[in-house]
Amino acid sequence: MFACAFGQNRQLEVDIICHKGSNHAMTSITDPLIWIALAVLLALAEIIVPGGVVFFLGASSAIVAISLWLRFVTTWVNALSLFFISSLVLIVSFRAVVSRFAEGDSHMANTEEILDEIDEIVEVLDTIGPGESVGTITFRGTTWRALGDGREIIEGSRARIVSRENTTYIVDPVA
């Protein structure tokens, strides 16, 4: 159409201007140097954002850069597709393996709170026992229900926590 209106030379000039302006963003996506820079940036970002995922995105960027440099991939659609697919494959395949060898500082905290409470000495507020008679103790500034081992533990004496059943402590008298 342009060839008829402007002649053959004018058509070539219009095509060059249109493609250069609209395709500029797409040529940067197919530039291997951009992908290498992205790979380095993502690998360095792994230091700030731990977890192993960002590192694999950087590795995928390096794979795309190498593929573009070797001309295995030539279009921006293929470059982005390769990036997404290789990212997914690397994360799913190797994250568990890398996490096993590069463990962070982690420790299992005491999830059984009762372990911190056993053998603590408490004050008896209301007489506990004899038998199944419930009394009260004060522990860490709070009043709790308490049961004994069947013996009477009188008000004002001291007892040792042996166990806990829900919100009731089981105590023994301190000799």
Q: What is the pLDDT of residues 11-33, one digit of tens each?
A: 434 343 344 444 555 578 889 99
What is the SS3 assignment for 123?
strand
Q: What is the pLDDT of residues 89-142, one digit of tens each?
A: 998 888 777 666 666 555 666 556 667 788 888 999 998 888 788 999 998 888
Name the DSSP class of 153. B
Rounded to the nearest 10 degrees, the angle between the axes of helix 53-69 and helix 76-101 is: 140
Q: In the chain, which residue ranges form alpha helices assigned H by DSSP?
A: 2-6, 8-29, 32-48, 53-69, 76-101, 114-117
HSE at residue 77, side-chain half, CA atoms within 13 A, is 0
Query: 67-88 in b/e burial notation, b at 16+ Cβ within 10 A?
Result: bbeeeebeebeebeebbeebbe
Does position 69 have pLDDT exceeding 50, yes or no? yes
Which comes out higher in pLDDT, residue 166 or 25? 166
Domains of the chain: 2-101 (no CATH), 114-173 (2.40.50.140)
